Amino acid sequence: MAHDVSRHPVTSIAKHSCRKRPAAAVAVQKVGNGESRNGANAASKSNHKQEIVRELLDRGRRQGFLTTDDVTGSLNSDRALLAEAKLLFGEYGIRVVEPEEKAPPLRRPARRSAADQDGPTNDPVRVYLREMGQVSLLTREGEVAIAKRIEAGQHARQLAVLGTPLGLREVLLLAEQLKKNTIDLKYVIDGLDAIEPVHTPEERRRDFFAKATRIKRIDVEVAKKLSSLANRRTGEDARERLRGEVDDLFRQATQLLRETRFARLRFGDTTQRLTELGRELERLRSQACRVTAPLSMSPEQFR
């Protein structure tokens, strides 16, 4: 008569481990087979021993190792079971160490599904999951560092667009239109629809006008310094100093706009405007090159 595995005393451990580690399950089943041949009394003892093995297995998988005292203290009375249990622990990468050793927990071997054990696969989902499993997760420090880099990139882009004479004048034009009530406040700044706003719309309106006044003064200062830069009599040292001062003024203006939460859509409009001007300048330069080409001169040389 065929042996019914489902009624075997070690079935509970086999269910616990055979799905992922079939070799380990076979090792434990062999132990149970040897114990169950002596009748009902032997079967009861086998169940008890298998429960001990299962507890040791769970403990070893949690901490990554077992001590010799853990193993021999529980299984020393049965040499055969002890040998088979050690094989089972080895299958799971669980070390058996001396009590005085400071054994660090081992990394648990990656469990592989039956499909993965068959070799390479063309399933894009499995390939993706396999590759993602090899990438370590971000730590909190890593997330903070990435967030800071993203913020720095956004600030640099804002400075490149709004920190220009055209950018400042576009902002001042919006302030004039808002003052005349030809546009709404929400057209100029974001965050007015917040559920629990810190400031009322009227407070934010006054704050925008106050910062626009400061930006207007900055625009005047920038114009003066750019005029000095355009003067041919300005020395190189003075030019370097003026460039630094202009850059600093542009950074101040951009920071003021950032504090008002200047509308992203308006920032996009200014970006588009600068892009169009760049294309127009490139078109005019191409025309100038065609004009000066017969003279074997560049437009700068012709000037």
pTM, whole model, 2 decimals?
0.53
Residues 147 and 262 in one domain: yes
Q: Report d(CA 179, CA 85) in Å as an integer.
A: 84
User: Confidence band (pLDDT; 50, 70, 90) for 87?
Assistant: confident
Which of 75, 97, 119 is where one domain is finished? Answer: 97
Residue-wise pLDDT for 127-158, tens only, equals 776 776 666 677 888 889 999 999 999 999 99
What string of DSSP letters covers 93-138? T-EEE-TTS--PPPPPPPP--HHHHT-----HHHHHHHHHHTSPPP
User: Is residue 11, in this structure, part of any structural domain at all?
Assistant: yes
For the chain, what is the mean pLDDT?
Answer: 78
Residues 157 and 280 in one domain: yes
User: Is residue 212, in this structure, part of any structural domain at all?
Assistant: yes
Residues 75 and 164 in one domain: no
Three-state DSSP class for residue 1? coil
Residues 78 and 181 in one domain: no
Residue type present at position 131: E
Q: State the average pLDDT over residues 234-253.
A: 94
pLDDT reported for residue 298 = 85
DSSP code at position 104: P
User: Is residue 245, in this structure, part of any structural domain at all?
Assistant: yes
Residues 159 and 93 in one domain: no
What string of DSSP letters covers 66-87? EEHHHHHHHHTT-HHHHHHHHH
pLDDT reported for residue 156 = 93
Residues 175 and 280 in one domain: yes
Which of 68, 97, 126 is where one domain is finished? Answer: 97
User: Is residue 255, in this structure, part of any structural domain at all?
Assistant: yes
Rounded percentage of the chain residues whose pLDDT exceeds 70: 71
Q: Report d(CA 179, CA 136) in Å as an integer.
A: 53
Residues 150 and 68 in one domain: no
pLDDT reported for residue 36 = 41
Residue 8 has pLDDT above 80, yes or no: no
Residues 10 and 87 in one domain: yes
Residues 182 and 89 in one domain: no
User: Is residue 287, in this structure, part of any structural domain at all?
Assistant: yes
Q: How many domains does the chain have?
A: 2
Highest average pLDDT, of 29-33, 69-73, 151-155, comes from 151-155
Residue 295 has pLDDT above 90, yes or no: no
Residues 152 and 298 in one domain: yes
Which of 97, 115, 133 is where one domain is finished? Answer: 97
User: Is residue 126, in this structure, part of any structural domain at all?
Assistant: no
Residues 192 and 51 in one domain: no
Residues 207 and 284 in one domain: yes
Q: State the average pLDDT over residues 258-280.
A: 92
Domain that holds residue 290: 141-302
pLDDT reported for residue 166 = 92
Q: Report d(CA 209, CA 172) in Å as an integer.
A: 10
User: Is residue 49, in this structure, part of any structural domain at all?
Assistant: yes
pLDDT reported for residue 133 = 66
User: Confidence band (pLDDT; 50, 70, 90) for 121?
Assistant: low
Smallest CA-to-CA distance from 174 within 156, 186, 164 is with 186
pLDDT reported for residue 16 = 43
User: Is residue 105, in this structure, part of any structural domain at all?
Assistant: no
Count of C-beta atoms within a 10 Å radius of residue 261:
15
Residue-wise pLDDT for 193-214, tens only, equals 888 888 899 999 999 999 999 9
Q: Among 15-24, 45-54, 156-165, which stretch is predicted with the lowest mean pLDDT?
A: 15-24
Which helix H or strand E contains 8, and what residues bound it?
Answer: none
